[in-house]
Structure formats: structure tokens, C-alpha cells
Amino acid sequence: MKIIIDTMGSDKGMEVIVKGALDAMAEKDFYPVFCGPEDELVKIIPNELIENDKVSIINAEDVIENTDEPALAIRRKKESSMVKGLRSLKNDEADGFLSTGSTGALLAGATLIIGRIENIDRAALTVSIPGVKSSTIVLDVGANMDCTPELIRQFAIMGTCYAKTVFNKNNPSVGLLNIGSEEGKGNTLTKESYKILSNQKLNFVGNIEPRDILDNDVDVIVTDGYDGNIMIKTIEGVASTIMGLLKEGIMSSTMTKIGGMLVKPALGGIKEKLDYRNLGSAPMLGSKKPVFKAHGSSDSLAIKNGIFQLIKFIEDDVINEITEIMRGE
Amino acid sequence: MKIIIDTMGSDKGMEVIVKGALDAMAEKDFYPVFCGPEDELVKIIPNELIENDKVSIINAEDVIENTDEPALAIRRKKESSMVKGLRSLKNDEADGFLSTGSTGALLAGATLIIGRIENIDRAALTVSIPGVKSSTIVLDVGANMDCTPELIRQFAIMGTCYAKTVFNKNNPSVGLLNIGSEEGKGNTLTKESYKILSNQKLNFVGNIEPRDILDNDVDVIVTDGYDGNIMIKTIEGVASTIMGLLKEGIMSSTMTKIGGMLVKPALGGIKEKLDYRNLGSAPMLGSKKPVFKAHGSSDSLAIKNGIFQLIKFIEDDVINEITEIMRGE
């Protein structure tokens, strides 16, 4: 299995991306194709791996920045690592693509270069949020603004396929993110989406309030990409603020420092539970080929786990599953 | 100063509401008017307070439930505590109204019974979110779905007045809740709102990401009510889940229990910082008279603080300030 890894666009530099991939190779059998500036990559990648054809490089000298207008960048920056990597995937030279770069550009690239599954109008950025009871798949978390109820319906179908195949859920439950639990709550989009979701061959369980986002037993939650992004960024911000305050509080006196050492095992468990690095990456669900986004600030552990997730996604053939179901639509 | 207190609609029962008000009386000079079933209230309120005319009661036997359709309930449930209380406020029999009841009904009541300030199209539920650096005023957090850029503009003006008067902020900074910090990010509403806010006599500082919601130095954040509600409910959920996991972790062994006792001062500080009960209540900003909503699960401390906030709101004459500014629009 060949995986193209975009080495550009990371907040932490390409060394971290390469290290994550090499760590992944030590645990799982796959062939990484690093996409980025060759002259720099050959200095980081151990020579014997290149010589023995255990890895290869696609030379790409340009990079798409977060500040670039996504669709324009995909069209114009033909020498960027993202465009060259996606073109290689499109030409069947590999099985999947992983990038830490601009979410907007990756979505535009997945659409303009790779294309969408038949009868899917938009690809959705899909994350798995760790929780107290179990993890929950949430889509869309930032690819599509101003969604329609029809898009929400498609997200629900794709999310169900993903939960079935990759997460081995039997008859996955689907919830609609909303500000109240009763039918009739919310804005025009959620009210209409509720009606449509109720009439599908889906295990629709109604509205899910964000209050229960880390403590629910729903398998899939669907939402407009703007609201999904507001929610995951709030989770990230609040978790990071609380853990920061906690650390600060513990460091504030000798007594609390000693206490901190004693409670450390308990704290570690929470950090582990809420750590996005254990999940690593998120598919652009709806793309014709596996395109994964990893967090811009991913460290090597996050990259390693992200690659594992992408490999499982390819092995489980999620895209074929979605394609079959959408063909019947 | 007379404050009407709706004793119905609380998750915790009317005893808690009355206790909160009596605790507030011990610290601040005001005259509470309890609105609810008289035969039950006389059993809870100390007799000498009624006899000496330190408090009074508006008898109301009906209650508006969270499941009632808001506008319909306000029109039809004429004997409910919320409707009778708001009518009394409307008739200048008191200076302010506080309720833990249905947010939707309270908004409908504020609009249909009390009425809005001239040139304000909608009242907004306005909270003050505690943060690491300082608290931030956020509106709207749930009164108005499907907002327009013009509503967002009005929220910004009202929020600025509120920050100036009640929170003593000089030239308050205003941010727009959005999924990215750069101009041009977000959905149709936030893109258009950004442009409009840039051209106002406001200290507009651009987009604020929810990642920074507990760690920013912006005085006022404006948002569509659906998104604002998603955000505050996510904050609430994540904070409660983490604190729960922490408690569970600390209780898991003798060693962590001892550690927990030692770090307790540090933990208490965080709880205090994030505790909605220290803020207590939220005004329906835009209403012609002071109408405050307190959390449905408020305990007596939250009610006490909620009353203090309402008193300060009346003393600082926020409504007059907004009225003056909007007259010039």
C-alpha cells in the first residue's frame, strides 16, 4: 500500500512529518511517498530507505499557505506539494493522501483534482471526537459553510458507512447537532434537516445538544460545517484552558506540587482521553479517493496515528461502501 | 427598588429561588416581589417579612413549561407566573424581572408584553463568560435563530453599551465569533457582518475564534443566537466532563485521593473561575425594561448573584444608554 504524505504546511516543520511516517513504518507495512522539496527531504530521510526503495519522494518546491485563497491556490500553485501529491493520487500512483496543510485548499483539491463520489454534492471533513463513553464521528466540521438539509442528509449516509466499516458499529445511531433536544428546536436548517433525517433508512435518534458532546452514546453526529467547526474549536479551547489552569494551579505551591505528582496518573488518563493526537487525522468523506487532513500542529505521534487511520480507511474500503449506497439514490 | 422574581420554571424548585432572594436581601437593599402560587409561597417565605411589607407576592397558579410553544404560551397562559410578572413590570409596578423559566417564552414575553427599544429589531440573550484574562460579554446566545448582519450590528451596539455601563469598560472592543481569524473566513452571515461591523463607530477588532473563548481580552463578542448557543453549551459540557473525569480520577486510589486533597486549592480556583453561578443571570438586551434570565438549574447562590446583576443593570441605566444611542440611528 502506497501512502502519499504531504511534508509541507505543518506548523512544526517537515522533520516531524517524516519522523511520524518512519515511526509508522516500524509498526505497519506500507510504502510512504514523501511530497516536498527533495533537496531538503534527502537530508532528513535515512539514505538506506531511499536506496532500498522502501520510500520515495515526489519533488515539490512550492507550498499552499493557510492564507491562500483555496480554489485559486489549487488551480495556480501547480508545483505545490498538495497539488502534486493529489495529482499523483488521481493518477492511481498511490492509495491515499495525507496532509497537515490548509483545510480549505485540501477540500478544494479533493473536489477539483480527485472529484466526488457520484450523488455526493460536497465532501465533508469528518472527525472522531473522543468521549467518556465512546468516540463519536462528527461531520462536517469545517469544509462546508451554509449547508442545506440535503447536504446534511448526505453527511448522515456517509457517516453511517464510515461508522460501520472503520469503527465496526452495527446499525450506527445518527444524531443532529442542535441547541435543544426536542423536535422543532433550532434554526431553519436544523428544523428542516430533522424532518428529512426522520424519513431516511437511517438509525436517526434525534437532536444532540453540544452539552453532551463528550458524554453521549451516539455513533454519528451531523452538522453544518460552520457550526461543527465552532463546536470542535470550543472543545479544543476549553480543554486546553482548563488543563493549563490546572497545571498552573498545581505549580503554585510546594503542597500542590506534591499533590500534583500523586494525582498525575488520574490527570494523564484525562489528557489521553481528550488528546486529538490519539485520533490523528480526518477524512474528506465524499472524495473519490482517500484524502486525509491531519491537524496543522500535529506532532510525530499524531502523524503516525493519522497514517494508521488512513491505512485502516483504505483497507476497510469505506469509499466503495459509500459509492454503492449512493448509486441507489 | 422593586424586583419581580418568577418562582416557577426552576429545575430545583421554588424554595431555592426564594432562598436566593432572601440571601440577596441580607446583603443589598431591595424589595422582592415573588411571583408564583401564593398558598405555597407563604409557607416558604418567613411570615414577618410579609407582615412588615419587606416582600410581596403576585399570585400566579400557572407555569410556562420548556416544552410550550413560546409565543403561544405567552398569549394563552395569562395566569402563568411569567406573564403576570412581565405584566406587572410593564405597568411600572417594579424595576426589573428575573426568571429561570423557558428562554424562548421569556424572549417572546419581553417582546410581546414589554416591547423593544426603538430601532432594535430583536432582543438578545446576553451572557458574560468568565475567562482567564477577563470576562467577555457574548450576545446573542440563544434568543434569535437565523440572524441577519443588521441584527449582528445591533448586538454590537447594545453589547458595547452594556460593557461600558455595567462592566466599566472604556471604549470596549468588539469581536465577531468566527471559525477563522482572517477577514473573508466563515459563512455568508459572518462574511457580511464583518464588512458591516468594520464601518461602524465601534471598536471592532475582527474575528474571534472559539478556541480563544476562555483566553481572550475582547470585551464583547457578537454572534448569531444559534452559534452562540452551540458555543456556550459546548463550554458547559466540556468543563463539566473534564471536572467529572478529574474527580473520578482523584477518587480512584488512596494515593490520588491524598494528592487530590493537596491540590484542592488549585482545583477550587478553576471551578470558581468557570462557575456560571458567579455570574448568575443574563439580560434580554434590547427589551424596553430589565428582563433577566437565570439558568434553569440555578441554585440559591446563582439566584442571589443573578439578582445583584439585575440590580446593577438597573442602577447603571443600561437601557437608557442604548435608547439614546439607537435614537440617533
pLDDT digits (tens, 9 = 90+) for A274-289: 665 666 689 999 999 9
Residue B274: its pLDDT value, please? 67
**Dihedral of the alpha carbons of B145, B149, B155, B156, in degrees to the nearest 10:** 150
The DSSP output letter for A110 is I
Question: Nearest C-alpha of chain A: how many angstroms from B291?
Answer: 22
Q: Which of B233, B264, B276 should be substituted to probe chain A, the one whose Cβ sees the most A Cβ atoms within 10 Å?
A: B233
**B186·A226 Cβ contact <8 A:** yes
**Cα–Cα distance for residue pair A70/A105, rounded to 1 Å:** 4
**Cα–Cα distance for residue pair B282/B124, rounded to 1 Å:** 10
Residue A286: its pLDDT value, please? 97
Measured between alpha carbons, how far is residue A81 from residues A32, A97, A111, A305, B106 in Å? Answer: 14, 11, 17, 21, 55
Comparing B264 with A6, the larger pLDDT belongs to A6
3 state DSSP class of A8: coil
**B238·A213 Cβ contact <8 A:** yes
Residue A274: its pLDDT value, please? 67
pLDDT band at B281 (very low <50, low <70, confident <90, very high): confident
Cell 502506497 -> residue: A2
Q: Which of A182, A262, A275 should be substituted to probe chain B, the one whose Cβ sees the most B Cβ atoms within 10 Å?
A: A262
Residue B64: its pLDDT value, please? 95
**Cα–Cα distance for residue pair B190/A313, rounded to 1 Å:** 34
On chain A, the residues whose CB falls within 8 A of the CB of B211 are 233-234, 236-237, 240
Q: Is the pLDDT of residue A302 over 70?
A: yes
**B242·A186 Cβ contact <8 A:** no
State percent of chain B over pLDDT 90.
73
Cell 416581589 -> residue: B33
On chain A, the residues whose CB falls within 8 A of the CB of B143 are none
pLDDT band at B46 (very low <50, low <70, confident <90, very high): very high
Residue B132: its pLDDT value, please? 79
**B229·A188 Cβ contact <8 A:** no
Question: Nearest C-alpha of chain B: how many angstroms from A53?
Answer: 41
Question: Nearest C-alpha of chain A: how many angstroms from B187?
Answer: 5
Residue B67: its pLDDT value, please? 86
Residue B150: its pLDDT value, please? 97
Comparing B79 with A103, the larger pLDDT belongs to B79
Q: Which of A134, A182, A221, A242 should be substituted to probe chain B, the one whose Cβ sees the most B Cβ atoms within 10 Å?
A: A242
Candidates A67, A231, A242; nearest CB to B230: A231
Q: Are B23 and B304 in contact (CB under 8 A)?
A: yes
Q: Is the pLDDT of residue B44 over 90?
A: yes
* Grid cell for residue B219: 470585551
Candidates A179, A234, A264; nearest CB to B210: A234
**Cα–Cα distance for residue pair A132/A3, rounded to 1 Å:** 32
**Cα–Cα distance for residue pair A206/A198, rounded to 1 Å:** 8
* Grid cell for residue A216: 453521549
**A145·B214 Cβ contact <8 A:** no
Count of beta carbons in the 10 Å neighbourhood of residue A25: 17
The type of residue at B238 is: V
Residue A277: its pLDDT value, please? 60
Question: Which residues share a beta bridge with A129?
Answer: A136
Question: Nearest C-alpha of chain A: how many angstroms from B211?
Answer: 4
Residue B309: its pLDDT value, please? 93
- Helix/strand/coil percent split, chain A, to 5: 50, 15, 35
Shortest CA distance to B5 belongs to which of B324, B322, B280, B327?
B280
Question: Nearest C-alpha of chain B: how many angstroms from A47?
Answer: 40
**Residue B113 burial (10 A CB sphere; 0-12, 13-18, 19+):** buried
**A262·B266 Cβ contact <8 A:** no
Cell 398569549 -> residue: B75
For residues A29-43, give the mean pLDDT: 97
On chain A, the residues whose CB falls within 8 A of the CB of B264 are 259
**A212·B239 Cβ contact <8 A:** no
Q: A with B: how many residue pairs have Cβ under 8 Å apart?
A: 186
CA atoms within 13 A on the CB side of B29: 1
Model-level ipTM above the cut of 0.85:
yes
Question: pLDDT tens for residues A118-134?
Answer: 999 999 999 998 877 88
**A256·B234 Cβ contact <8 A:** no
* B187 → chain A, closest CA residue: A145
**Cα–Cα distance for residue pair A177/A210, rounded to 1 Å:** 7
**A212·B265 Cβ contact <8 A:** no
Q: Is the pLDDT of residue A20 over 70?
A: yes
Candidates A233, A250, A269; nearest CB to B211: A233
**A229·B179 Cβ contact <8 A:** yes
State percent of chain A over pLDDT 70.
97
Residue B37: its pLDDT value, please? 97
Shortest CA distance to A82 belongs to which of A148, A17, A139, A19?
A17
Comparing B79 with B279, the larger pLDDT belongs to B79
Cα torsion B131, B137, B142, B145: sign: negative
Phi, psi of A199 (to 5 degrees): -105, 20
Q: Is the pLDDT of residue A203 over 80?
A: yes
CA atoms within 13 A on the CB side of A173: 13
**A265·B250 Cβ contact <8 A:** no
Q: Are B25 and B45 in contact (CB under 8 A)?
A: no
Q: Is the pLDDT of residue B267 over 80?
A: no
Question: pLDDT tens for residues B205-253?
Answer: 999 999 888 888 899 999 999 999 999 999 988 888 888 888 888 888 8
For residues A298-308, give the mean pLDDT: 93
Shortest CA distance to A201 belongs to which of A138, A156, A152?
A156
H or E element that contains A76: helix A70-76
Measured between alpha carbons, how far is residue B145 from residues A185, B15, B64 in Å? Answer: 10, 33, 21
Question: pLDDT tens for residues B107-138?
Answer: 999 999 999 999 999 999 999 988 778 889 99
On chain A, the residues whose CB falls within 8 A of the CB of B185 are none
Helix axes B225-250, B254-274, angle to 10 degrees: 160
**B256·A265 Cβ contact <8 A:** yes
Cell 429545575 -> residue: B11
pLDDT band at A240 (very low <50, low <70, confident <90, very high): confident
pLDDT band at A267 (very low <50, low <70, confident <90, very high): confident
For residues A56-70, give the mean pLDDT: 93
On chain B, the residues whose CB falls within 8 A of the CB of A247 are none
**B177·A214 Cβ contact <8 A:** no
